[in-house]
Amino acid sequence: MTAYLGDVVNAVYVVAVIAFILGLKAMSSPETARRGIVYAGAAMLVAVAVTFVSPGLSNFALIALGVIIGGGVGWYWARVVQMTAMPQMVAVFNGMGGGSAAAIAAVELLSTLSNPTTSSLSLAGAIIGSISIAGSVVAFLKLQGWMRQKAIAYPGRQPISVTVLAVGVALGVYAVAGLNAIWLLPFFVLLLLYGVLLTLPIGGADMPVVISLFNALTGIAVALDGFALVNGPLGDAGYAMVIAGTLVGAAGSLLTILMSRAMNRSIRNVIFGAFGATEEVGGAVQGSMKPIDVDDAAVLMAYANEVIIAPGYGMAVAQAQQKVKELSDVLEAKGVAVKFAIHPVAGRMPGHMNVLLAEAGIDYSKLFDRDEIDPEFANADVVLVIGANDVVNPAARRQGSPLFGMPILDVDRAKNVIVIKRGQGKGFAGIENDLFYKDNCRMLYGDAQQVVGKLVTALKKS
Catalytic residues: 390
Q: Which is nearer to other proteins, 362 or 435 (CB)?
A: 362
State the minimum distance, in angstroms, from the CB of residue 33 to other proteins: 5
How far from 401 is each of 217, 221, 288, 431, CA to CA, in Å?
31, 37, 19, 9
Q: Which is nearer to other proteins, 83 or 285 (CB)?
A: 83
State the minimum distance, in angstroms, from the CB of residue 257 to other proteins: 9
Q: Which is nearer to other proteins, 211 or 452 (CB)?
A: 211
State the minimum distance, in angstroms, from the CB of residue 40 to other proteins: 6
Q: Which is nearer to other proteins, 7 or 363 (CB)?
A: 363
State the minimum distance, in angstroms, from the CB of residue 270 to other proteins: 15
Secondary structure in 3-state letters for 419-430: EEECCCCCCCCC
Q: How far apart are CA 444 and CA 244, in angstroms?
A: 49
N-term to C-term CA, the chain? 80
State the minimum distance, in angstroms, from the CB of residue 371 to other proteins: 10
Contact status, residue 116 vs residue 178, Cβ threshold 8 Å = no
Contact status, residue 150 vs residue 277, Cβ threshold 8 Å = yes
State the minimum distance, in angstroms, from the CB of residue 44 to other proteins: 6
Q: How far apart are CA 321 and CA 316, in angstroms?
A: 7
Q: Which is nearer to other proteins, 234 or 337 (CB)?
A: 234
State the minimum distance, in angstroms, from the CB of residue 275 to other proteins: 20
Inter-helix orientation angle 86-111/207-230, to 10°: 30
SS3 27: coil
Q: Which is nearer to other proteins, 287 or 361 (CB)?
A: 361
Contact status, residue 343 vs residue 263, Cβ threshold 8 Å = no
Q: Which is nearer to other proteins, 79 or 461 (CB)?
A: 79
Q: Which is nearer to other proteins, 168 or 238 (CB)?
A: 238
State the minimum distance, in angstroms, from the CB of residue 374 to other proteins: 15
Sign, CA torsion 414/415/419/420: negative
Contacts of 178 (CB under 8 A, 6+ apart): none
Q: Which is nearer to other proteins, 33 or 170 (CB)?
A: 33
State the minimum distance, in angstroms, from the CB of residue 88 to other proteins: 10
Tell me which residue of 167, 198, 195, 196 sits closest to 183, measured CA to CA: 167
Q: How far apart are CA 370 and CA 381, in angstroms?
A: 18
Which residue(s) pair with 418 in the sheet?
Answer: 384, 442
SS3 444: strand
Q: How far apart are CA 29 and CA 233, in angstroms?
A: 39
Q: What is the CA radius of gyration of the chain?
A: 25
Which residue(s) pair with 419 in the sheet?
Answer: 385, 443
Contacts of 327 (CB under 8 A, 6+ apart): 309, 452, 455, 456, 459
- Give the DSSP per-residue string, 158-200: HHHHHHHHHHHHHHHHHHHHTT-GGGHHHHHHHHHHHHHHHHT
- Would you state the torsion angle of the CA atoms of residues 252, 102, 84, 205, taken in this order, to the nearest 10 degrees? -60
